[in-house]
Amino acid sequence: MPIGDVQSEVHWYIHGRLIKPVPAGLPVICASRPLLEFAFRARVAALPGITIISRHDVTGLVATADHSAVTGARLRSRDAAGTLSSMPADLVVDASGRGSSGSSWLGELGYAQAPAETVRVGIGYSCRFFRREPHYLDGRIGTVAAAYPDRPAGGLVIAQEGERFILG
């Protein structure tokens, strides 16, 4: 996994000009999202009191009889039978992103739904992986062409694990 200084190991082009590549003292770790997710999951799984249950979907929350506290989550197995169960928990974290049902689950328990907030940023991107050779990028771990008002499109090439880089 490529690691280096964010200023001296990455070419930065701002307003079409290369910023002088001097050490900034800020480390950058160029890891793919799958590698980061693997590392976070392994680290969390190693914590005492943490249970990770694979091949299940959360279908709702479990609460006390008076709904004053959430005490766990309802689960459905992804096996053919779709077995239902529940998992007690001191803390339930909904990390499902945009598709979260957390607000409706809280609504089922009588809680007011959290207000929705939309932030429109007007940015789109796409990316692709390519094979990386050591001489690519002049030995650096990345190149970034930053967007600016006169040129609202930018791009980057960042080295990643597995002798590849991502172009975005």
Mark 33-70 as b/e (b = at least 16 C-beta within 10 Å). Answer: eeeeeeeeeeeeeeeeeeeeeeebebebbbbeeeeeeb
- Averaged pLDDT for residues 51-72: 91
Query: What mean pLDDT value characterizes the chain?
Result: 89
Mapping DSSP to helix (H, G, I), strand (E, B) and coil, where does residue 130 land? strand
Whether the predicted pLDDT of 123 surpasses 90: no
- Averaged pLDDT for residues 79-93: 88
Q: DSSP letters of 72-86?
A: EEEEEESSTT--EEE
Question: What ranges do the domains of the chain cover?
Answer: 3-34+122-167
- Averaged pLDDT for residues 137-154: 87
- Averaged pLDDT for residues 86-105: 87
Whether the predicted pLDDT of 93 surpasses 90: no
The letter for the amino acid at 29 is I
pLDDT class of 140 with cuts at 50, 70, 90: confident
Q: What is the percent of the chain where pLDDT is above 70?
A: 100
Confidence (pLDDT) at 56: 92
- Averaged pLDDT for residues 79-85: 86
- Averaged pLDDT for residues 118-126: 83
